[in-house]
Structure 1
Amino acid sequence: MDQTLAQYASLGQKDKAPAYLSLLQETLSHPDQSRLAADIHTIVDHVVNNDSVGPVVGRQVLADLAKALGAAAIKDSAIRRQVVEDTLAVVQPRLVSYEEQVNVLRFQLADLLEAEEEWSDAARVLMGISLESGQRSVSDEEKLRVYIRIVRLLLEDEDSTQADSYYNRAALLAHTTTDKETQLAFKLCQARIMDYNRRFLEAAQRYNELSWVADIDEEERKQMLSAAVTCAVLTPAGPNRSRVLASLCRDERTADLPTYNILSKMFLDRILRPAEIHEFEGTLKTHQLAKINMSSNDRLASIADDDDDDEGASISKRKGPSTVLDRAVLEHNLLASSRIYNNITFRGLGALLDLTPGAAETMARKMIEQGRLKGFIDQVDRLIWFETGNEDEEAQNKAGGLGDVEQETEDTGAAFTKRWDMQIRMTAAEVESIVQHLSNKSLLGAVTA
């Protein structure tokens, strides 16, 4: 091999390119591939680093090599990967002269690494591609596709910090493409970034939107719908979450999901039990189980009044939620308890949520401050009073379209009497709706018989 290369180096400039290309093809097609990687390394090193060859011939040889590798001239993926990595290592010191050929080889190496599920390594290879070079014009759409691919690969390895950086670059170019596939890929990246950044409400909305796109494969749409349900469950309790839960619960497709049970219970404002939470926890990804830290002020507030409780009483020692899921469940159970009770003591709420009385008060206080819970706190009697929301809005959020039921209120002279009467009306309306449904299905006669 060395003697052949030395002979080719002494040829005239017009004859060098055909000679080296012929040698490369002969090497690639040789039946014995035990020395294939070493021979190609020798050829590449010679044409790149030998000044007598010149960059023009070197570019032709590297372009031909990249084309042959792209056409799977080397069947063994391990040898193909070794050849690409060796070639990139040899060319790196002279990158300026072989930029276009290096970019092609980097794309091929990224494909090989992605096929072997080495996500972060594939992303780093793509990061090394020069997209801002003055020697080669790269369209904004091509840059966008590369950035989206890097984001997707980084998220596969849960590297949301770097992924967020490249997502921001992609966001600046998202308006430049009219390709529907690229637009959908960007929207999916957007939803996943929101998910990883714990912006669960926005992530649930994006996932839900994508689950309706007909151009996406049915199985992938089902996965996006499942992701939407998961993010909706992890969203902080409040009116915004209620709207998302209502939208998902009314979607007939969610009934087939394994997470439908917890979705329906949250939508109906029912208290969640530990067994249900544990089952749902098994479906979560690592970032959705992230630990959360309490601020020093919340920690002090959580223990401030606990010493006033009777000694010997059975009181939980938990000072607050420990994970994202834990916080979502505790806030939901607090919101659900407001639908059941007119008021509750700090101790009673703490027993319900498995928190210290001080921690239960702190959670209720924060939700009231943020407008996610209607009520007020009586520090003297150590009571939390819950206020009713707008009845029409609550009715619209109920299953079965009970918001269309005409409800007239009477002046009974007492706020709690009004609330009790309204609850009776709502219950009667629900019973009436069930009876009407059974009647439409011709099931009442069968039950009576």
Structure 2
Amino acid sequence: METRLAHLATLAQKDKTPAYLALVAETLARTDTASLPADLHVLIDAVANPDIVGLVTGRQVISELVKTIGAGAVTDHDTRKRIVEDALATLQPRIASYEEQINSLRFQLADLLEAEEEWSEAARVLMSVSLDSGSRSLPDEEKFRVYVRIVHSVQAETYYNRAASLSNSTTHKEIQLQFRLCQARISDYARKFLEAAMRYHELSWVADIDEEERKVILSHAVTCAVLAPAGPNRSRVLASLYRDERATELPTYNILSKMFLDRILRPAEVKSFEESLRPHQLAKISISSNDRLASVVDQDDLVDPSTSTRKARASPSTSTRKGPSTVLDRAVMEHNVLASSKIYNNISFPGLGALLDLAPSAAETMARKMIEQGRLKGFIDQVDKLIWFEGGKEDDDAQGKAGGLGDVEQTSEATGAPFTKRWDMQIRNTAANVEAIVQHLAIQGLIQSPA
């Protein structure tokens, strides 16, 4: 190869371009590819030198070389990858002269990395592509495709925002679906679980997506709905998913149904669900300043100010946890607070703390925060250390009308609210029957009044 290049360098300038192009075609046509990467390295290094070949000839030759490689002249994956990486390393110092060719090589390398499922590396290569500078700027549709590929690989929010601004530049259905999936994943990774659940659920109905893939997407929707902050908005999403007949086949259906029906979740159920979560959904969360203050208050409550001695605890099992430690932990605690409001008229701070495995004041802080945010109806009596729940028809309507179904006849649809009403009615009837029996026994003189 060195001898051929030395000979071509002596040719007249007008003869160099066809001679180098012929050498490129001859080299890539070889059946033995063992020495191909080394020969192409020498060829690219020589052609890219403007003092030997000239800039115009160099661009023409390297453009043809890059185009031929991209068209599949080199069939072996590893050999092609090695050639592309070596060509990029050789041309990078001369990027001002060969920017277009370098961008083409980067796209080829990204394709090769994606074929190996090296998504993060492929995204980094695409991030280095110059889309707006140089002699030729890519059209908006091509930029949108590149941004979607980056976001699909690494959930890069900056590139997601760029893609969002160009989302109307194409009508290509597959690219649009990829972008919508990126939207859901970005919300998921940003812990905007309510938004992610809605986006995943919408995508799970798209007929163009494979059925098995739609089941996976539906499972993601359920997971995000469970992790979302408790409140009326989440109740609507849970109702939509609970009504979805496909959800019954999911392993997460048990926790979905319990959350929708406002039933308290037990540690064993939470542990089973936790095993299905992805790493970002198990992220640790910091203890808020209010929760730290709550723990100090609880410690102060154990000290008798008149004697400066520690009081005995009301219960040896009282928790000392200052607050939830993970995203799942917080979601389950908030759900159990909401579920408690469907069962009790009021609950004490220690009682709620025992239910949530939190220090009493930390449990109060969680309930107060939910009341302030409008996710829980009630008020707090700090003198008696009670949390009073305010039940109302509005909460039941929120579940009955969930999922965009409009007005729903509560007596004919098996949603969470009618089940709760039926349960409350059974408790009320039982209490009334017991009261009637006691009154009857008192009239008969069978019950002695306490002294």
Normalising by structure 1, report the TM-score. 0.85
CA contact (8 A) 1:207 1:227 kept: yes
One-letter identity of the residue aligned with 1:146: V
Equivalent pair of 2:46/2:52 in contact (CA under 8 Å): no
Secondary structure of 2:318's aligned partner: coil
- Is 1:253–2:246 an aligned residue pair? yes
**Match for residue 158 of structure 1?**
none
Equivalent residues of 2:264, 2:339 under 8 A apart: yes
- State the partner residue of 1:331: 334
Specify which of 184, 190, 203 is matched with residue 183 of structure 2: 190
Taking the aligned partners of 1:70 and 1:402, their CA distance within structure 2 comes to 58
- 339, 347, 369: which is aligned to 1:344? 347
Describe the SS at the equivalent of 1:305.
helix
CA shift, 1:116, in A, is 2.2
- Residue correspondence of structure 1 range 160-199 to structure 2 within 5 A: 163-199=156-192
**Which of these residues, 207, 211, 219, is aligned with residue 212 of structure 2?**
219
Give the length in aligned residue pairs: 410
CA deviation after TM superposition for structure 1 residue 261, in Å:
0.9
Corresponding residue number in structure 2 for 1:389: 392
The Cα shift of 1:138 comes to 1.3
Opposite residue 285 of structure 1, the aligned amino acid is R
Structure 2: how far apart are the matches of 1:12 and 1:402? 85
Residue 315 of structure 1 is aligned with which of 303, 313, 318? 318
Aligned-pair CA distance for 1:134: 4.6
1:403 CA drift (Å): 5.0
Contact 1:111 1:122 in 2 (8 A): yes
The residue type equivalent to 1:33 in the other structure is T
Q: Whose Rg is larger?
A: 2
Amino acid at match of 2:424: Q
Measured in 1, the distance between the counterparts of 2:423 and 2:34 equals: 83
Aligned to 1:300: 293
CA drift at 1:420: 8.7
Identify the residue that residue 78 of structure 1 maps to in structure 2: 78
2:380 is matched with 377
Q: Distance in 2 between matches of 1:227 and 1:277?
A: 16
8 A contact 1:192–1:203 mirrored in 2: yes
Which of structures 1 and 2 has the larger relative contact order (alpha carbons within 8 angstroms, sep 6+)?
A: 2
Identify which of 191, 197, 202 aligns with 2:195.
202
Do structure 1's residue 282 and structure 2's residue 275 form an aligned pair?
Answer: yes
The alpha-carbon deviation at position 382 of structure 1 amounts to: 1.0
Determine the structure 1 residue equivalent to 2:221. Answer: 228
What does residue 149 of structure 1 align with?
149
Do the aligned partners of residues 398 and 214 (structure 1) sit closer, same or farther apart at CA in structure 2, a change above 3 Å counting? closer
SS across alignment from 1:376 = strand
Structure 1 distance, partners of 2:411, 2:277, is: 42
Find the aligned partners of 1:94 and 1:48 in 2 and give their Cα distance. Answer: 8
RMSD over aligned Cα atoms: 2.6
Q: Which amino acid aligns with 2:12?
A: G
1:94 is aligned to 94
Structure 1: segments with no counterpart, 5+ residues: 156-162, 408-418, 429-449
Secondary structure of the equivalent of 1:388?
coil
AA matched with 2:88? L
CA contact (8 A) 1:234 1:325 kept: yes
Of 404, 413, 431, the residue aligned with 2:409 is 404
Task: Answer yes or no: is the 8 Å Cα contact 2:184–2:199 preserved in 1.
Answer: yes
| Counterpart secondary structure, 1:96 | coil
Q: Give me the whole-angstrom Cα distance separating, in 1, the residues matched to 2:399 and 2:27.
A: 76
Note the C-alpha offset of 1:247: 0.4
Amino acid at match of 1:79: T
CA contact (8 A) 1:59 1:98 kept: yes
Q: Tell me the residue number matched to 1:243.
A: 236
Alignment of 1:20-99 (within 5 A): 20-99=20-99
Structure 2 CA distance for aligned equivalents of residues 238 and 39 of structure 1: 66
Contact 1:306 1:357 in 2 (8 A): no
What do the CA deviations read for 1:341-399 (whole angstroms, capped 9, x no partner)?
11111111111111111111111111111111111111111111111022651672699
Q: Deviations over 1:58-116 (max 9, x none)?
A: 22322222233223322332221111111111111222222222111111101112222
- The answer (yes or no) to whether the contact 2:349–2:360 under 8 Å persists in 1 is yes
CA contact (8 A) 1:302 1:360 kept: no
Indicate if the aligned counterparts of 2:151 and 2:160 stay in contact, CA closer than 8 A: yes
CA offset digits 1:213-264 (Å, max 9, x no partner): 1222222222211111111000010000000000000001111111111111
Point out where structure 2 has 5 or more consecutive residues left out of the alignment. 303-310, 413-419, 430-451
